Structure 1
Amino acid sequence: MTPGIGHNGGPPLEEDDDPAGGRLFLWKRAHKRAWKTPPREIALSRLKRAEELGMTYKEYTLEILERGKYL
C-alpha cells in the first residue's frame, strides 16, 4: 500500500530489528559535541569555579550540561 498525498515518509510504526538504529549514532555524535573541549579561557574559568566548589572539572561541566545553569 502506497502512502497518500501529504505523507512525509516517516519511520514505520513497527519496531526495527535493531531498536537503537540511528539513535545510537545520533546520541554518540551529540555526546561528542557536548564534551568538546571549550576555548582555553572558558576551560580555565570552569576549572577555577569547580575548585572553589570542591568539585572536579568534569563534575562541574556535567552540571552545566545537565541543568543549563552555572553554579
Structure 2
Amino acid sequence: CREFSVPLKAAALQFVLGHPAIPTNIPGVRTVAQLEDNLQTFRAEIPAEFWAELKRRELIRQDAPTPQ
C-alpha cells in the first residue's frame, strides 16, 4: 500500500467489491464522521497496477477478481 500511496483501509474495503458475488459492502459506523470517512475511503483512487502487484507478489490469488 505504501509503495502506491494506497490507504490500507481503502484497499480492504474496495477489494471485496471486486468479486461479482458481492454487490455491496456496508461497513458499520457510529458517527457521521465515520460515515464520511468510509465514503471518502470508497472513493479513493486505486490504480490497477496496485492489484496486479499484489498478485505478482502472491499476496492475493492470481484468479482473484479485483475492482475495476
Q: Could you state the TM-score of these two structures normalised by the residue count of structure 2? A: 0.28
Q: Could you state the TM-score of these two structures normalised by the residue count of structure 1? A: 0.28
Bigger helix fraction: 1
Q: Which has the higher contact order (CA 8 A, sep 6+)?
A: 2
